[in-house]
Amino acid sequence: MGKRVLLIEDEPNIVEAVRYLLTREGWAVDTHSNGATALDAVARRRPDVIVLDAMLPGRSGFDILRDLRTAPDTSAIPVLMLTARGQRRDREMAEAAGASRFMTKPFSNSDIVDCLRELGGHDAA
């Protein structure tokens, strides 16, 4: 049985590409696109791993990540933070907020699949 990933991303092309890749690898993929309601989506879906965009409408991924890390129910969920800006400051902010891993867009298909396998303890399909 595959593991569940919640992709919190507002770019439709990225959502579809990542959903396709991960579904093919045996993951159950849920998506959410609004930062303001992202924590509710996490609570409802109870993912094994979260892929979180840094820049979302309604609320920043960095703020969402800080809240995830301070809540007992979500503090241990691995989070892969995505950003379109590969600046060192973004990486430092992600690490300070508690990101498990950090990836800059655009990313390769194999990089995201390999990263989520590591984070989720998911064996290759």
Q: Which range has the worst mean pLDDT, 6-10, 49-53, 71-75, 82-86?
A: 82-86
| Tens of pLDDT, residues 24-45 | 999 999 999 999 999 999 999 9
DSSP tag of 95: H
Instruction: Take residue 83 and report the two structure tokens written for it.
Output: 């950003």
Given pLDDT bands bounded at 50, 70 and 90, which one contains residue 122? low
The closest of 7, 3, 80 to 48, measured between CA atoms, is: 3
| Tens of pLDDT, residues 66-94 | 999 999 999 999 999 999 877 888 889 99
Q: Tokens 């959903």 map to which residue?
A: 19
Given a cut of 50, whether residue 97 has pLDDT beyond it is yes
Given a cut of 80, whether residue 48 has pLDDT beyond it is yes
For 118, phi then psi, to 5°, come to -65, -50
| Residue 120: predicted pLDDT | 87
Domain spanning 4-120: CATH superfamily: Response regulator (3.40.50.2300)
